[in-house]
Structure 1
Amino acid sequence: MSSELDFRLDDFKPADADSEYAEQRFWAGDLTVLAEHHTTPNGSHSFVVAHDGSVTWGVPGEPQIAAIRVARDLSQNTFTFERTYHSTVPLAQNWLIERGCMPEGIAQVGDDFMKPADDLTARVEQQLRMSGGRYEVLDSYTSDYDPCETWTLTRDSHATEEPVRLFLEEGDYETHTYTMREGAFPDEASARLWLDDRDDLLPLPPEYRGEAAALRTRAALSRSTGVPAVPKASPGAPQAGTASTVQRPTPRRSI
């Protein structure tokens, strides 16, 4: 992974007005690269996930993770430049994968950044990363300080029950790790009520319930280090808590 972001566009010109505008607004000094993939041997495409530190000085709660795709036409010496913002790294990776990036090329985040605290976090992230167009993002909020968390409210097109899904990420500076948990709600209003009150544990999705899911969840949590297990509502059914990471003004993942 490179320490400086350089798309090597000196000999190229924008293919359209949107790409010209996107490049003009691009400032590499604001970005900390989290993951990147450049095609070989001809270098026609670049895919980057980065934390944009400038967002922390803007509107509170705005997503801070940039997904950038650059496609070069080597025969015409032109390029197209696309950039979007996402609340969390797996959704940025998903956007790039849907636009031609190899999943294994963009999935690995650099060693200097925060790591998943447990197997359940890794599983939920992989679910988001490879979800295609499954989740419609309804809203999100990134908190830089207290609490340090990011939540993403979505609608799951695959869910037959409780289709509104909340993905909650929180970080732990002491352990340099983070967790992500998925909660399920019948509608957007009930999810927002939970976010406002947080009097109860984050409700598990229906597909997590049952003894088999409980055993898998407990096994995943038992292998984690430095993170308490998800509380259980009963001996046979685990209950998800408010779990873990967020994008910071200094790089998380560490971001």
Structure 2
Amino acid sequence: MSDDLDSGFDFGLDELTPADDASAEALETLWPGDLRVLSQHHTTPHGSHSFVLAHDRSATWGIPGAPQVVAIAVARDLSLSTFTLETSYHATASFAQNWLAERGCPPEHITPAAENRLKPNDDLTLQVEQQIRESGTRYEVLDSYTSDFDPCETWTLTRDSDAATAPVRVFHEQWDHDTGTYTMREGAFADVGAARSWLDDRGDPLPEPPEYGDHNGAVLRARMARIALARSADAAAVQKAIRDAPCTPPPGPVQHPVQGRLL
């Protein structure tokens, strides 16, 4: 994790040249000083590959609704002194993690640290995010929108290749800065028109996917139970660490370098 976010991210490309025009163009479009690194993973021992999950602060001042989470994959050929660089913008971290996983990054190594994001509000949020991260090419992203002003939310409009019915899915994320939490939900629609009508109106609750109510619902509930158990175990470990820790003065207040959205 970067210790000095305001200093920008070092891509580690000194003395290397782009392997193709697409990599050169991708590098030109990124300004490291705009990137707030949320998580990064580098292969060992030679660091031939790097995977970065970041918040692009410049997106806040760009096209309204543009995605602000950028996934970056770097591959270095040290024998030829070249590199390839790919980037992809997403409304939520989980879709960016999915993109990185498809390019070889172990998902568990690209999870944003707790201090870099709001906390999930409930176990269903964690389940939906895990489903996205592990979905491979299941979801075709059709559109997305990010609002870091009231209402603070994102949505990602997708087509689910695994869905037998209601194949158009909306992943709706809401942030509550007062409580420091966020909620993610999945909605299912028969077609894109119905999904866009809901996004424009919001008069009814987000319709749950039909599989929540069939035999797959049992799988969903089992996964949520495992998540709840893991969270309980983590909480118990934290409490034990607090009990066993020596008495020391509390740290001073943490200064967050970015206002607005915390991913």
TM-score normalised over the length of structure 1 = 0.83
Aligned-partner SS, 2:80: coil
Q: Which deviates the most, 109-118 or 158-167?
A: 109-118
CA distance in 1, matches of 2:68, 2:112: 16
Per the TM alignment, residue 251 of structure 1 is displaced from its structure 2 partner at its CA by 6.4
Matched, 1:52 2:46: no
**Structure with higher helix content:** 2
Residue from 68, 85, 88 that aligns with 1:81: 85
Secondary structure at 1:191 match in 2? helix
Q: Is the 8 A contact 1:140 1:150 kept in 2?
A: yes
> 1:2 — aligned with what?
2
Which of 112, 132, 143 is the aligned partner of 1:109? Answer: 112
From the CA coordinates, give the structure whose radius of gyration is larger. Answer: 2
Q: Give 1:178's aligned residue.
A: 182
Amino acid at match of 1:206: P
Structure 1 segments, 4+ long, off by >2 Å, are 210-217, 249-252
Corresponding residue number in structure 2 for 1:150: 154
Q: Which structure exhibits the higher relative contact order, with contacts defined as CA atoms closer than 8 Å and separated by 6 or more residues?
A: 1
Distance 2:34 2:14 in 1: 20
- In structure 2, what residue type is equivalent to 1:2? S
The amino acid across from 1:17 in the alignment is D
Q: Distance in 2 between matches of 1:140 and 1:192?
A: 11
Distance 1:105 1:148 in 2: 28
Given that residues 51 and 66 in structure 1 are in contact (C-alpha distance below 8 angstroms), is that contact kept between their aligned partners in structure 2? yes
State the Cα distance separating 1:250 from its structure 2 match. 3.5
Residues of 2 paired with 1:36 and 1:116: CA distance? 21
Q: Quick one: distance in 2 between partners of 1:172 and 1:40?
A: 38
Structure-2 separation of matches of 1:111 and 1:9: 29
Compute the displacement of 1:31 (Å). Answer: 0.8
Equivalent of 2:168, from 145, 149, 164?
A: 164
Kindly provide the CA deviation profile for residues 111-161 of structure 1, in whole angstroms up to 9, marking residues without a partner as x: 212121111111100100111110011111111101110011100000001
Alpha carbons of structure 1 residues 19 and 120: separation in structure 2 relative to 1, 3 Å: same
Q: Return the alpha-carbon distance in structure 2 between the equivalents of residues 75 and 92 of structure 1.
A: 30
Q: Which residue of 2 aligns with 1:241?
A: none
Is residue 148–residue 260 contact of structure 2 (8 Å, CA) maintained in 1? no
Q: C-alpha offsets along residues 182-220 of structure 1, whole Å, 9 cap, x if unaligned?
A: 000111111111111111111010111159838939x76
Please say if residues 13 and 79 of structure 1, whose CA atoms lie closer than 8 Å, have aligned partners that are also in contact. yes
**Distance in 2, Cα, partners of 1:111 & 1:131:** 23
Number of equivalenced pairs:
226
Check if 1:199 corresponds to 2:221: no
Match of residue 221 from structure 2: 216
**Which segments of 5 or more consecutive residues in structure 1 lack a partner in the other structure?**
224-248
Alpha carbons of structure 1 residues 211 and 14: separation in structure 2 relative to 1, 3 Å:
closer
3-state SS of the aligned residue for 1:83? Answer: strand
